[in-house]
Amino acid sequence: MKNEKYSKMLIPSILSVSLLTIMAPTAISPALAAIKDAFPGISATQAKLVLTLPTLVMMPMGLLSARLTTRFDKKKLLLIGMALFLVFGVAGGFVSNFKLLLLMRVLFGLGLGIMTPLSTSLIFDFAPDTNKRSKLLGIQGASNQLGGLVFMSLSGILASISWRYSFLTYAFVIVSMILTFLFMPSIPPYKADEKSVGNMKNKKMSKKILVLAFFAMMIFACYFVINTDLALFMDVERIGDAKECGYALSLMRIPAIIAGIMLAWIMRNLKDWTMPFATLIMASGYLIIAYSHSYDILMIGCLIVGLGGGFALPPISLYLPRIVTPRQRTLGVAIIMSVAQLGQFISPYYINIFVNGSTGDELRMRYVVSAITTVIIGFSVLVFTYTLPKKPLEN
């Protein structure tokens, strides 16, 4: 694929998928308090399943998606994932039973599980050059955050009318489906010569990828505390309503977009110190939120968390070529992204180990725990990078 020429709309097509994947499970975060009120028999933790359950399904589905690319065209798989995303994403707003709502979220997670690893592996397919790849992964991170900016704002506005309308934000996938269908070339599976198939089995993938996946999971777990807890925190503390929560969650994406655009320059200068730098920024934002008593101060905290997250999330994928060979990268991306997305599911449960309650003080302490954990993970990643080769692995 190195020397082929593609439509100028190819990269926008790939990035349009990125707009959807990271934000998708939590796009309806501004409606969470309203969903809990609509089903009075459920607890706050059960309400959060609406956000976190899709990520639990994504992990096995993402791994299966990577395996399916050895048999089926990536473009067709992506379109199938988008169809599931559309149907079951929007369907969540039409159900009147909480268990049925959770079922819709599980089926929605299947589609998202197909899409997520493909959205990153496509960059490896079409950008073999390391510098271009770093730039595109940074732009992809910015696209992820742009998706959050647009959809969190829209979701908050729609949720202020009815929590059901917030699910309509998932209909944007139609645009991505059209772009993918028209401009993305077919990507057939690697020719199944026994040598290349054997590479996945006989040449074992380094176990270091599991360590990297764990770090990714914990970064996501900390980053998405703000999505699972902010609506409830603002409601309990009387800081704002669903619309204002949507604005806070969406506007924090603006500095994250800037961070994504700057990422290649930051990594060129800070190199492996990028993660500690990013997590220190995230932690400071969480501490500001934890001690905020007004919407303005809370917004400042959200903006700082967004900036740190924009620097912290994309570099995880950039360590991948230093751990796995090119033939293993699609599976490697699937492992990283699937386990990372699992972080969204475990986020409330991890914080519950230290703080379990829904009073104002307890909700504040959840952000303090996130700040401490984030910094620990950031410096752990730095130590981990000293065990990796400096250059990408070859076949």
What's the distance, Cα to Cα, between the start and end of the chain in Å? 16
Mean pLDDT value across residues 108-113: 92
Residue 1, pLDDT score: 54
Most confident of 112-121, 297-306, 350-359: 297-306
Percent of residues, the chain, with pLDDT higher than 70 = 92
Residue 200, pLDDT score: 47
Residue 192, pLDDT score: 45
Q: Which residue has the higher pLDDT, 1 or 237?
A: 237
Range with lowest mean pLDDT among 72-81, 139-148, 344-353, 370-379: 139-148
What residue ranges do the domains of the chain occupy?
10-385
Q: Is the pLDDT of residue 111 over 90?
A: yes
Q: Is the pLDDT of residue 47 over 60?
A: yes
Residue 11, pLDDT score: 83
**How many angstroms separate the CA atoms of 126 and 120, rounded?**
10
Cβ contacts of 124 within 8 Å, gap of 6 or more: 133, 326, 329, 330, 333
From the CB of residue 361, how many other CB atoms can be counted at a distance below 10 Å?
10
**Distances in whole angstroms, Cα of residue 296 to Cα of each of 292, 293, 300:** 9, 9, 6
170-175's contacts with Cβ under 8 Å and 24+ in sequence apart are 170/24, 170/27, 170/85, 170/86, 170/89, 170/90, 170/108, 171/86, 171/89, 171/90, 172/19, 172/20, 173/20, 173/82, 173/85, 173/86, 173/89, 174/86, 175/16
**How many angstroms separate the CA atoms of 306 and 311, rounded?**
9
Mean pLDDT value across residues 305-315: 86
Residue 346, pLDDT score: 86
Written as six digits, the tokens of 327 are 């033939």
Q: Over the chain, what HEC string results? A: CCCCCCCCCHHHHHHHHHHHHCCHHHCCHHHHHHHHHHCCCCCHHHHHHHHHHHHHHHHHHHHHHHHHCCCCCHHHHHHHHHHHHHHHHHHHHHCCCHHHHHHHHHHHHHHHHHHHHHHHHHHHHHCCCHHHHHHHHHHHHHHHHHHHHHHHHHHHHHHHHCHHHHHHHHHHHHHHHHHHHHHCCCCCCCCCCHHHHHHHHCCCCCCHHHHHHHHHHHHHHHHCHHHHHHHHHHHHCCCCCHHHHHHHHHHCHHHHHHHHHHHHHHHHHHHHHHHHHHHHHHHHHHHHHHCCCCHHHHHHHHHHHHHHHHHHCCHHHHCHHHCCCHHHHHHHHHHHHHHHHHHHHHHHHHHHHHCCCCCHHHHHHHHHHHHHHHHHHHHHHHHHHCCCCCCCCCC
Do residues 290 and 364 touch, judged by C-beta distance below 8 A? yes
Q: The domain 10-385 is classified under which CATH number: 3.40.50.880, 3.40.50.2300, 1.20.1250.20, 1.10.3720.10?
A: 1.20.1250.20
Residue 190, pLDDT score: 58
Residue 52, pLDDT score: 81
Q: Which residue has the higher pLDDT, 281 or 196?
A: 281
Residue 19, pLDDT score: 78
Q: Residue 129: pLDDT band by 50, 70, 90 thresholds?
A: low
Written as six digits, the tokens of 228 are 């699972």
Q: Which residue has the higher pLDDT, 376 or 394?
A: 376
Cβ contacts of 68 within 8 Å, gap of 6 or more: 77
Percent of residues, the chain, with pLDDT higher than 90 = 33
- Displacement of CA 254 from its chain's centroid (Å): 16
Q: Residue 301: pLDDT band by 50, 70, 90 thresholds?
A: very high
Q: Is the pLDDT of residue 259 over 60?
A: yes
Most confident of 104-113, 123-132, 357-366: 104-113
pLDDT, tens digit (0-9, with 9 covering 90-100), for 32-42:
888 989 998 88
**How many angstroms separate the CA atoms of 157 and 384, rounded?**
42
Do residues 370 and 351 touch, judged by C-beta distance below 8 A? yes
Do residues 132 and 254 touch, judged by C-beta distance below 8 A? no
Residue 328, pLDDT score: 78
Q: Is the pLDDT of residue 194 over 80?
A: no
Residue 175, pLDDT score: 93
Q: Is the pLDDT of residue 79 over 70?
A: yes
Q: Residue 155: pLDDT band by 50, 70, 90 thresholds?
A: confident
Q: Length of the chain in residues, anyone?
A: 395
Residue 282, pLDDT score: 95
Most confident of 43-47, 252-256, 284-288: 284-288
**How many angstroms separate the CA atoms of 319 and 272, rounded?**
9
